């Protein structure tokens, strides 16, 4: 009887020690909501807008467009556009953009810290979308060994978007040509690299 009373007296203490709040990202427990909020802000900060976020915000826009017109278009889609993304668009170089690829390239220049190309220089170059299409026509020579090398370490099954994202992270001199090829493959999930290479082989 004495042992039972001692066990009962300890139960409230055990319950009191259980965390009241749990981090939804890592499962760590906290007894105060303020500590949970502080932990979430420092350990799991919101990710910066990506090129994919930018393309989603500008989906359906007709080019060419100026930086101001891009910002206005994105601002109208308030449900899909975050303040951080609008700030990112407003920080783009002030010039006319002929297609979405030019916008993504400008974003990459900003993130890498490179000095953005001026409007005169960009206007003298072929648009990335046309250049990518021509590169794809010459892609058969790199479709096997080049793509296999760029996909080193990737996990399958994987989507078209995930495959392109993986290649973009690689330090490969041919990755832009490879990406231009991958943009033309079917938008579906690929179970293995063999299936992917067969799909690339269909591109003419």
Q: What is the mean pLDDT of residues 181-187?
A: 87
pLDDT of 202 > 80? The answer is: no
Q: Which DSSP category does 59 fall into?
A: T
Residue 55: exposure state from Cβ atoms within 10 A (0-12, 13-18, ≥19): middle
4-47 pLDDT, tens digit each:
444 555 545 544 567 788 876 677 888 888 888 887 777 766 66
Predicted model pTM: 0.41
**pLDDT value, residue 135:** 46
Average pLDDT, the chain: 74
Unique residue bearing structure tokens 């502080």: 38
pLDDT of 203 > 80? The answer is: no
Q: What is the mean pLDDT of residues 52-65?
A: 83
Which residue, among 93, 94, 83, 178, has the nearest Cα to 140 in the 3D structure?
A: 178
Q: With left for phi above 0 and alpha for psi between -120 and 50, is residue 113 left, alpha or beta? A: left
Q: Rounded to 5 degrees, what are φ and ψ at 159? A: -85, 165
**pLDDT value, residue 45:** 62
Confidence label for 121 from pLDDT (cuts 50, 70 and 90): low
């Amino acid at each position: 009887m004495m042992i039972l009373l001692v066990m009962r007296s300890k139960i409230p203490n055990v319950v009191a020690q259980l965390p009241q709040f749990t981090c939804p990202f890592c499962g760590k427990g906290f007894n105060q909501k303020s500590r949970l909020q502080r932990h979430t802000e420092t350990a799991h900060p919101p990710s910066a807008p990506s090129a994919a976020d930018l393309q989603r915000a500008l989906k359906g826009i007709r080019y060419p467009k100026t930086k101001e017109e891009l910002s206005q278009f994105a601002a109208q889609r308030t449900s899909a556009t975050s303040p951080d993304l609008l700030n990112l668009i407003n920080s783009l170089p002030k010039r006319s953009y002929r297609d979405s690829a030019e916008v993504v390239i400008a974003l990459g220049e900003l993130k890498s810290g490179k000095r953005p190309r001026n409007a005169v220089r960009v206007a003298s170059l072929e648009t990335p979308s046309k250049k990518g299409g021509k590169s794809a026509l010459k892609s058969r020579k790199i479709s096997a060994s080049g793509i296999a090398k760029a996909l080193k370490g990737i996990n399958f099954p994987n989507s078209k978007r995930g495959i392109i994202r993986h290649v973009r992270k690689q330090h490969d001199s041919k990755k832009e040509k490879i990406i231009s090829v991958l943009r033309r493959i079917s938008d579906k999930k690929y179970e293995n690299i063999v299936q992917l290479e067969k799909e690339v082989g269909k591109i003419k």
